Amino acid sequence: MPLDNQIQPKILLLNGPNLNLLGEREPHIYGAASLKTIADRLTQTAATYNIVLMNFQSNSEGALIDRIHQARNEHIEWILFNPGAYTHTSIALRDAIQGARIPMIEIHISKVFQREAFRHHSYFADIAWARLVGMGMLGYDYALAAAIAAIKN
């Protein structure tokens, strides 16, 4: 546990639309683990490094934007973001990420480049610190490992 005068680093795990259905929706593409299972595992991993992992999922673009804005005031150091379908449509979320000036790692469970053509474009690709695409649920773990390494270094 940190001393009272120490501030634990914080990471925000942010998930967009339909990711609340993980484990139920197309498990042959997205796997069998629920979002809660993933978030719990990452929270435990972060805690071993004395880092707080905050978790938020919404199907609403506005709620995601509000959460990104809130992250600025909470001194979040990294955002791990699976924007879901908003990857291909949301300039507003892109602007929120840029405005927050918090490094962000973009995560996609599926191999989006092997799917429908409309999934090939990302509004976040050029502003993401890194992108993890098609690694299944491990993409979340790798994103967390990269953020922890950056914080610790």
Better pLDDT: 66 or 1: 66
H or E segment and range at residue 78: strand 78-82
pTM: 0.89
Q: Give the model's pLDDT for residue 88.
A: 80
**Annotated catalytic residue within 86, 108, 123, 140:** 108
Residue with tokens 């990471």: 11
Q: Answer yes or no: is pLDDT of 3 > 50.
A: no
Q: Is 108 a catalytic residue?
A: yes
Q: Give the model's pLDDT for residue 114.
A: 58
Q: Is 69 a catalytic residue?
A: no
pLDDT digits (tens, 9 = 90+) for 109-141: 876 665 567 555 787 999 999 999 888 899 999
Give the residue from 99, 92, 97 showing the smallest Cα distance to 129.
97
Average pLDDT over every residue of 45-60: 98
Rounded-to-integer distance, Cα 56 and Cα 20, Å: 10
pLDDT digits (tens, 9 = 90+) for 25-42: 777 777 778 999 999 999
**Annotated catalytic residue within 30, 86, 123, 140:** 30
What the chain holds in terms of domains, given with CATH numbers, is 10-152 (3.40.50.9100)
